[in-house]
Amino acid sequence: MSLRYALLALLNVEPMTGYDLYKQFESSVGYVWHAPDSQIYPELRRMERDGLLEGEEVAWGTKGRKRQYHVTDAGREAFRTWVNTQLDYPRERDPMHLKAAYLEWADPDAARSQLLAHAEHYGARLLQWQQKIQEIDGGTSDMLNRRLATFPSADHSRVAAFKRFTYEGLTARAESEIAWAQRGLALLDELYPEDSSGTAAT
Amino acid sequence: MSLRYALLALLNVEPMTGYDLYKQFESSVGYVWHAPDSQIYPELRRMERDGLLEGEEVAWGTKGRKRQYHVTDAGREAFRTWVNTQLDYPRERDPMHLKAAYLEWADPDAARSQLLAHAEHYGARLLQWQQKIQEIDGGTSDMLNRRLATFPSADHSRVAAFKRFTYEGLTARAESEIAWAQRGLALLDELYPEDSSGTAAT
DNA sequence: GATTTCATGTAAATGGTTACATGATTCG
DNA sequence: CGAATCATGTAACCATTTACATGAAATC
């Protein structure tokens, strides 16, 4: 259900085509919420059917056509309702932590490489999110600047602050996951001292 | 796909019925991986069909019957393969962080109550997970003790250590989420100083 | 002219949620 | 005897993933 609101959030800034939105999901918003094109196009149609968006066929080249969507009043209202409404939290479901609970079944090397991969996964995300924070601070975020243009300047600090706040949360989470993976690697060295391949070779 | 391995993990300790497993998912394992009964029963049937489990009809009372499952060699092998195999990480998809990025659209009070709810949600989980750690440390965890009984005593410290490690990761995450929500509440007070309802009431 | 990017989808499968349905057994 | 718990499912729906499919426009 969040896909709908992620799309509304982007279209609140300016009208876009499905493909424009898809690219956003591959970069900026995609770092918080991902969706593939095969989910975006049908959802846009449904949102139009539900009156949240209006689509307009636009010529593209000589024979090409594309469909540009803009948010309706009902769409803006639905978005405002969403931001004001309490989420319900799904029950816990985390594959890596589930697996970690049974790591005594694993090869020490396989366990090591998975914890390393865990740290690397979140390391990569950490970099992306930190970069986003730098873009916000430096005023070089394209999307944020366009979003700011839709707000009176008195609200600009808020808009930027909440965006920064979001990425701060994600970086904190990434750091916590990395620290956890590293504690896991240390634990493996402790529990299987005979072969500490990769960690303290020689 | 992880449901299958969560079930194998539990059945590795001892044979159980669907209902036994369901109860585990409501308490112990449920704090790491949740599944409703309507997902458990059909999955057990599929696992039996795939040769990972064997089910046996057991009498229960005079007319009642129940189906007790135990893991086959193929099942143990599949589980071992799973713990040794690298997960692939899903793309980012986090409703609360998505919403946080657009909190300038929210009522300050609605924003506050949602961040408060976020902190409370993870606060409740934090307590559960910390309790699990205490059970592990105190040797009072029923499930862990039965699991330990299936391992030679040389391996006991490992089994307990990995279980503890899992919950440590989850508590760290919960703490990070709580800290984030609190930073958010402070931010709201900063951005909307006029009404700081609830936070610093006289 | 070939490759990349722009553009828009459909189809099948997977994994999960919510609601419904039923009946036996045990416990107080 | 009534309530809680034990026991096992089905059905409909929703969100998401992966794979397939097509073609125009822009760029090199």
Q: Quickly give B58 CA vs C24 C1' distance in Å.
A: 14
Q: How many angstroms separate the CA atoms of B114 and B55, rounded?
A: 46
Q: SS3 of A67, please?
A: strand
**Do B126 and B178 form a contact (C-beta atoms < 8 A)?**
yes
| Protein side of the strand C interface (CB < 7 A) | A 17-20, 22-23, 37-38, 41-42, 44-45, 60, 64, 66-67, 90-91, 93; B 1-3, 34-36, 38-39, 60-64
**Order of strands, edge to edge, in the sheet holding A16-17?**
A16-17, A64-71, A53-60
Sequence-separated (6 or more) residues with CB below 8 Å from residue A166: A32, B97, B98, B100, B101
Residue (of A47, A77, A36, A86) closest to B112 by Cα position: A86
Residue (of A157, A100, A101, A96) closest to A121 by Cα position: A96
Q: Which residues of chain B have pLDDT under 70?
A: 195-202
Domain A2-84 of CATH type 1.10.10.10: yes
Of A30, A104, A113, the CB nearest to B158: A104
pLDDT, tens digit, for every residue of B71-115? Answer: 999 999 999 999 999 999 999 999 999 999 999 999 999 999 999
Q: How many angstroms separate the CA atoms of A89 and B124, rounded?
A: 12
Q: How many angstroms separate the CA atoms of B175 and A46, rounded?
A: 39
Q: Quickly give B37 CA vs C10 C1' distance in Å.
A: 33
The predicted pLDDT at position A60 comes to 95
Average pLDDT, chain A: 95
Strands (E), A64-193: 64-71
Distance (Å) of CA B143 to CA A157, B57, B147, B151: 51, 24, 6, 13
Instruction: Please tell me whether any atom of strand D lies within 7 Å of the Cβ of B38.
Output: yes
* Cα A181 from chain centre: 21
Exposed, middle or buried: residue B67 (CB in 10 Å: 0-12, 13-18, 19+)? middle
pLDDT, tens digit, for every residue of A106-125? Answer: 999 999 999 999 999 999 99
The predicted pLDDT at position B201 comes to 46
Of A83, A84, A93, the CB nearest to B33: A93
Q: SS3 of A55, please?
A: strand
The nt closest to A55 (CA vs C1′) is C8
Helices (H), B29-107: 37-49, 73-84, 95-100
Question: Residue A123 has which token pair?
Answer: 């390391």
Find tokens 């808009």 and name the residue. A159
Q: How many angstroms separate the CA atoms of A15 and A18, rounded?
A: 10
Q: How many angstroms separate the CA atoms of B29 and B3, rounded?
A: 11
The residue ranges of every structural domain in chain A are 2-84, 95-191
Q: Are strands A16-17 and A64-71 parallel, antiparallel or unpaired?
A: antiparallel
Supply angle C-alpha A30, B87, A108, rounded to 5.
140
The predicted pLDDT at position A122 comes to 98
Q: Quickly give A31 CA vs D27 C1' distance in Å.
A: 29
Answer whether residue A151 shows pLDDT above 80.
yes
Report the gap between the CA of B62 and the closest CA in chain A (Å). Answer: 37
Q: How many angstroms separate the CA atoms of A109 and A42, rounded?
A: 44
Answer whether residue A74 shows pLDDT above 70.
yes
B:18-37 Cβ neighbours of strand D under 7 Å:
18-20, 22-23, 37
pLDDT-derived band of residue A198, with 50, 70 and 90 as boundaries? Answer: low
Cβ–Cβ of B113/A86 closer than 8 Å? yes
pLDDT-derived band of residue A194, with 50, 70 and 90 as boundaries? Answer: confident
Rounded to whole angstroms, the maximal C-alpha distance in chain B is 70
The predicted pLDDT at position B194 comes to 74
Q: Among A15-19, A97-101, B193-197, whose mean pLDDT is lowest?
A: B193-197
